[in-house]
Amino acid sequence: MASETIRALLERAFPEAAEVDVVDRTGTGDHFHVTVVSRRFGELPLIDQHRLVNAALAAPLGDGTIHELRITTRGAA
Amino acid sequence: MSTLREQIQDVIDNEPVALFMKGTPQLVMCGNSDRALRALLDAGAPIAAVDILPDPRIRQELSELSGWPTIPQVYVKGELIGGADITEELHASGELRRKLDGTLGVDREQKVTTVALRLS
């Protein structure tokens, strides 16, 4: 799966995001590191921030196209 | 005879710190599992590790239980803390150790065990 597809899913789920970044860590289209900076994360516990990201990527996580996912989230300044 | 899901729930409910991982603490089979394991060890956590690799149903049942799609998964006193990224982040900020101190006490014994689920 291309990084751009992942990015599109995240941008759809977080239209308010100040930053959405997707890195294909291995160049093989299945190990990604995604970063989302959004004011929506505000005071949410990390676990809930990551749950939102996981939910946005539920389809590719569920069918195995994402083999490994690293997540970095921050509340926007 | 308890189902696989009941056994998983039992580990989550009864182990002070449960780590569902790929491989075992002695032979870690995945970089993310290794990151979570190291953070927990470094924070002085006792660890009950469950290898999810022997049967794909373990991961399937676990993710259905937790609503968390990826491995590893770390639980403290029955509560899902997160995967490797959160565990590392909480360790880096000192929050993981504070949480362990608060829930398990500062004098906790740090032992690492491997829990095998019965597969049938």
pLDDT value of position A77: 62
Mean pLDDT of B59-81: 97
pLDDT higher than threshold 90 for residue A18: yes
**At B64, which CATH number?**
3.40.30.10
Tell me whether A46 touches chain B (CB under 8 Å): yes
- Kindly give, in sequence order, each residue whose CB lies less than 8 Å from that of residue A15, ignoring residues fewer than 6 positions away: none
For chain A, give the percent of residues with pLDDT over 70: 99
Q: How far is CA B65 from CA A34, A57, B13, B95, in A?
A: 25, 18, 12, 25
B86 found inside a domain:
yes
Dmax (CA) of chain B? 42
pLDDT higher than threshold 80 for residue A17: yes
Indicate the residue of A47, A70, A71 with minimum beta-carbon distance to B80. Answer: A47
Q: Which domains does chain A have, with CATH numbers?
A: 3-74 (3.30.300.90)
DSSP code string of B23-92: EETTEE--HHHHHHHHHHHHTT--EEEEE-TT-HHHHHHHHHHH---SS-EEEETTEEEESHHHHHHHHH
Report how many domains make up chain B. 1
Q: Which residue of B has its CA nearest to A33?
A: B85
User: Count of CB contacts below 8 A, A vs B?
Assistant: 32
Residue A41 — very low, low, confident or very high, per pLDDT cuts 50/70/90? very high
B112 found inside a domain:
no
Please list every residue in chain A whose beta carbon sits closer than 8 Å to the beta carbon of residue B34: none
pLDDT value of position A76: 77
State which residues form the domain around B13. Answer: 4-104
Task: Give me the interface pTM, i.e. the ipTM.
Answer: 0.89
Please list every residue in chain B whose beta carbon sits closer than 8 Å to the beta carbon of residue A58: 69
pLDDT value of position A61: 94
B111 found inside a domain:
no
B18 found inside a domain:
yes
B91 found inside a domain:
yes
pLDDT value of position A1: 76
Distance between B116 CA and the closest CA of chain A, angstroms: 24
Mean pLDDT of B5-15: 98
Tell me whether A25 touches chain B (CB under 8 Å): no
Q: What is the DSSP letter of A23?
A: E
Residue B53 — very low, low, confident or very high, per pLDDT cuts 50/70/90? very high
> Across all residues in chain B, what is the average pLDDT?
96
B98 found inside a domain:
yes
Inter-chain CB proximity A69 and B70 less than 8 Å: yes
Mean pLDDT of A15-43: 95
Residue B69 — very low, low, confident or very high, per pLDDT cuts 50/70/90? very high
pLDDT value of position A24: 96
Residue B75 contacts residue B18 (beta carbons within 8 Å): yes
pTM comes to 0.94
Please list every residue in chain A whose beta carbon sits closer than 8 Å to the beta carbon of residue B89: 46
Distance between A50 CA and the closest CA of chain B, angstroms: 8
